[in-house]
Amino acid sequence: MSITLSSPPAAESPRAATSAAAPDPTPRPGSHRDRAIDLVRFGCLVVVVVLHSMMSGAQLGPEGTVLPTVALSGTVGFTVASWFFQVMPLFFFIGGYAALNGWRRTQAKGGDWRDYLRSRLRRLVVPVTVLIALAGLGLSVASEFGVSPELLAEASTRIGQPLWFLAVYVGLTSLVPLAAHFHARAPRLTIAVLAGAVIAVDGLVALTGVSGFGYLNFLFVWPLIQQCGFFFADAVNRPVRTGAAWTVMVFALLGLGGLVAFGAYSPNMLVNLNPPTGALVLLGLAQMSALRLGHAWLNGLVEGGESGSDGAIEMRARAWDRVISWGNSYGIHVYLWHMPVVIILIGGLGSVANLLSGVPLWEGANLGDVVLPAIESPLWWASRLPWLIVVMALSALLAVGMSKVPFLGEEKLARFGAAVEREVRGMRGTNAEADLRGSVAEADGSSGGGTDAFADADAGTATGPRRAAAAVGLAMAGIAIALLIGIAPLIWTIVSVALLAASLVLAAGLKRSPLSPARVSSVQHG
């Protein structure tokens, strides 16, 4: 999912309605935001939260212990529905669109890949660092109050599970300048190479029967879908080729259906998510085509539509502005914090059900069964709408609160990193003049934009690329610990947060040297 964490620009006045005006498919003048894309992105987040909430359930064990379980996933209806609520391909596709536009804006302002990566890492890593730190501390406190180790272990795993997206997206973000370079030089060849790699990996899994080979597709499926988003970014302001879009969508769905029928892919699109398969690429192409066809209509919708008085159109546009602005500001926090909300609610309901399990209602049932009904029972289904409303409301409130958690600013992190670096160099016996020469070399290696900014950056020095690689690697490692191991016991929270903090420190140092021309000349001439 590109997830944009920054606050959106101030909403401008809705367009004036004219009796014969067609919806304008382009962003408003003076704004680089495409509000239809922002709406779809936020809608995808809502779908993910709803899906995770519906799949989360619990039962009481024989001794009254709360046993979290996964609901619905084994049903035929869930498999059919997965074709509609598997939105991750669309998320990464939109991410490619937003990433290319963001990179081009960075270049237009005279920035280079350092500026882009530094900004993106901070926007992604800070919220996940807050989540892991506070959730890990919360689980540690819960352990001291006697919460069962089984429930804590399940909570640790569930909280970390949604973070796979952040780990993948951090990696993709670091590659955007390079991916954009290939898109500019050989767009179709780049797509063909990535698609061939996906097919090769899927073929290897099919031939050997070793499903573990499928994890290689983390290197190809999501970059391929992101690269497709680059094409959308290029075409978004051009007239829609309706026939071509329908053709791509129909053939993608027919191809996916045929491969599922022949057993090449699982009919459950969630199964195709881990490890990712070519099924997600085909589904993503269908979703991309649908978005292309509906993009102008969506922009017209968020602009207030065409029917009604000027006042009604303006009112609807402002309402959509508020929804989209809220989603842009807090969407990522909702994504990160909805599972802690679900875990807390499940634990609370389980405790109440345990206390009330001794109150009989009718033969074979007690009041605890009403509080925590059997999964997929009529009472369970009747409780799903209130359950979703509570989860969404609490997740929204928590998202707003967590977005306000203070975090060290970029300048402070950069100064801390510089101080540590000076100490390390001092211990190595590096003199100040050599440090200054290194800074000059790094500054000289920076490029101010253009398609080849990534290729030209850091000529004559490897400091920038090494720092960037370390920052990205540490961020992915910190997220991977929470994802694969969990955040409890507390030691894993500490390790994960330490790695993420180190990533932020390194990222904050990805800046050009502020040396004055006189100082640079002095060093260069000895």
Question: pLDDT tens-digit profile of 89-114?
Answer: 999 999 999 999 999 999 999 989 99
- C-alpha dist (Å) from residue 38 to 2, 255, 328, 414: 10, 29, 7, 31
- CA dist., res. 128 & res. 457, Å (int): 29
Phi, psi of 375 (to 5 degrees): -60, 130
Owner of token pair 């070793």:
210
Q: Which strand (E) or helix (H) includes residue 256?
A: helix 242-261
Owner of token pair 């996916």:
256
238 SS3 class:
coil
Residue 330, pLDDT score: 93
pLDDT digits (tens, 9 = 90+) for 434-444: 554 555 444 44
Reference 179, options 196, 200, 194, 198; nearest CA is 194
- CA dist., res. 62 & res. 49, Å (int): 30
pLDDT digits (tens, 9 = 90+) for 375-426: 888 989 999 999 999 999 999 999 999 999 998 888 888 888 888 878 877 7
Looking only at the bridges linking them, the beta strands covering 66-70 and 56-60 are: antiparallel
Q: Residue 72 corresponds to which tokens in the numbers above?
A: 């619905």
HSE-CB of 99 using CA atoms within 13 angstroms:
35
Reference 27, options 211, 212, 299, 293; nearest CA is 299
Residue 69 bridge partners (DSSP): 57
> Looking at residue 211, what DSSP letter applies?
G
Q: Residue 427 corresponds to which tokens in the numbers above?
A: 């211990």
- CA dist., res. 472 & res. 462, Å (int): 16
For the chain, give the number of residues.
Answer: 526
326 SS3 class:
helix
Mean pLDDT of the chain, nearest integer: 83
> Looking at residue 450, what DSSP letter applies?
S
Please report, as a single letter, which amino acid is at residue 66. V
- Largest Cα separation within the chain, whole Å, is 94
Residue 13, pLDDT score: 38
Ranges in the chain, pLDDT < 70: 1-32, 363-364, 429-463, 512-526
Q: Residue 92 corresponds to which tokens in the numbers above?
A: 């990464």
Reference 302, options 285, 288, 290, 320; nearest CA is 320
Residue 417, pLDDT score: 82
Q: Which residues contact 523 (CB under 8 A, 6 or more apart)?
A: 433, 436, 437, 440, 515
Reference 459, options 476, 442, 474, 475; nearest CA is 442
